[in-house]
């Protein structure tokens, strides 16, 4: 889907597999499985329970939360345009920004929110080695929330140590890099996209919107792999910048992806920068997939039991709004000081 497998021909340049999220040749295996091998990661279904429990804490609840979330959906799907219906690109972006605005209204009770900013169109580059191959991911992923403070670790030392028992999938007899396009490069790049004196050096949450352009449209597994690869790339680039070649402590970064109705939530904990072999400590990925915020939205009348009702929106799960706001959408309220 989105990777260039780049080989440098000159003798003094290393062989390099370079990743850009603009090519669509990610066909032979599901994206998340291949991304797990490329990032030396253990993928865990669902989010950690202690993160989900944040949604049930009274101090993390918004007044009239469900109603306010429904209003943000209605605004994105019906009120943001004077046309009959807004395009997918418009309502997806509007919905995401509306939900982030709801999170920002909690700043008075959660001061840590004021220690973060949003950045767009920053350029990322990260390089690492797997086996005898050298890989690089670079490009722009969209919206990034950066923080003055790093996110706390999800797992402790013992749980991290236990990942050494996890066996990575190999896809034998097919090589995991079989479909990565090879190109020539002349520099092993590593950049967070921010200057050294940036007051917001820590990546907090990445936000992804599904593209509506046909040539850039991704299948669901490819979209999740894109989230995983860019989250890993951000963590690795920051590890190299903060700690050099040896990782002193794990780095945690989150990601949220949506098509305007269905959400994907991901938490990535970088436990090691020694990625060349399959043995030893593994990185960890928690992935909560295909969570529907609502069933559908339409403005045509719904006729039921001889009653005509103008249907605005049908919510799939009234508890999901709380989960989205408090526990996952940027995890705005999770901080090492709170």
**Using one digit for the tens of pLDDT, what is the confidence trace for 78-116?**
888 877 778 888 999 999 999 999 888 888 888 888 899
How many other CB atoms are found less than 10 A from the CB of residue 34? 26
How many other CB atoms are found less than 10 A from the CB of residue 298? 14
Compute the average pLDDT of residues 169-195: 80
pLDDT of residue 303: 55
Partners of 153 in beta bridges: none
With a CB cutoff of 8 Å and minimum separation 6, the contacts of 70 are 313, 315, 321
Q: Which of 107, 97, 104, 112 is nearest to 151 (CA)?
A: 112
CB 235 within 8 A of CB 199: no
SS3 133: strand
Q: How far is CA 80 from the centre of its chain?
A: 26
pLDDT of residue 200: 92
pLDDT of residue 1: 33
**Using one digit for the tens of pLDDT, what is the confidence trace for 146-180?**
999 999 999 989 999 999 999 998 877 777 877 77
Torsion of CA 133, 138, 142, 145, to 10 degrees: 80
Compute the average pLDDT of residues 294-303: 69
pTM for this model (two decimals): 0.84
CB 198 within 8 A of CB 147: no
Above pLDDT 90, what percent of the chain? 38
pLDDT at 26 over 50: no
CA atoms within 13 A on the CB side of 245: 2
Tokens representing residue 317 in the block: 């799960």
With a CB cutoff of 8 Å and minimum separation 6, the contacts of 236 are 126, 128, 190, 270, 273
Of 16-30, 89-103, 259-273, 284-298, least confident by mean pLDDT is 16-30
CB 174 within 8 A of CB 29: yes
Averaged pLDDT score across all residues of the chain: 80
CB 322 within 8 A of CB 106: no
With a CB cutoff of 8 Å and minimum separation 6, the contacts of 90 are 80, 81
């Amino acid at each position: 889907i989105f990777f260039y497998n780049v080989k440098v021909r000159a003798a003094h340049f290393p062989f390099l597999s370079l990743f850009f999220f603009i090519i669509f040749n990610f066909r032979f295996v599901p994206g998340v499985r291949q991304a797990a091998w490329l990032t030396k990661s253990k993928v865990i279904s669902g989010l950690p329970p202690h993160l989900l429990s944040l949604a049930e804490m009274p101090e993390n609840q918004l007044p009239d939360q469900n109603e306010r979330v429904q209003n943000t959906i209605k605004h994105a799907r019906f009120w943001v345009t004077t046309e009959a219906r807004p395009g997918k690109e418009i309502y997806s972006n509007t919905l995401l920004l509306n939900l982030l605005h709801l999170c920002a209204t909690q700043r008075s009770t959660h001061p840590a929110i004021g220690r973060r900013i949003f950045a767009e169109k920053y350029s990322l580059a990260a390089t690492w080695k797997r086996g005898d191959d050298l890989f690089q991911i670079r490009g722009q992923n969209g919206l990034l929330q950066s923080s003055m403070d790093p996110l706390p670790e999800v797992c402790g030392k013992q749980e991290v140590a236990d990942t050494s028992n996890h066996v990575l999938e190999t896809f034998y007899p097919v090589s995991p890099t079989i479909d990565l396009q090879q190109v020539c490069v002349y520099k092993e790049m590593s950049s967070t996209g921010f200057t050294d004196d940036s007051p917001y050096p820590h990546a907090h949450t990445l936000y992804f919107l599904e593209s509506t352009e046909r040539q850039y449209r991704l299948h669901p597994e490819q979209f999740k792999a894109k989230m995983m690869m860019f989250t890993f790339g951000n963590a690795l680039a920051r590890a190299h910048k903060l700690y050099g070649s040896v990782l002193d402590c794990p780095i945690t970064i989150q990601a949220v992806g949506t098509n305007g109705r269905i959400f994907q939530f991901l938490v990535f904990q970088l436990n090691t920068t020694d990625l060349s072999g399959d043995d030893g400590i593994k990185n960890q990925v928690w992935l909560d997939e295909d969570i529907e915020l609502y069933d559908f939205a339409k403005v045509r009348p719904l006729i039921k039991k001889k009653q005509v009702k103008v249907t605005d929106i049908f919510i799939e799960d009234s508890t999901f709004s709380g989960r989205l706001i408090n526990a996952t959408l940027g995890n705005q309220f999770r901080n090492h000081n709170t």
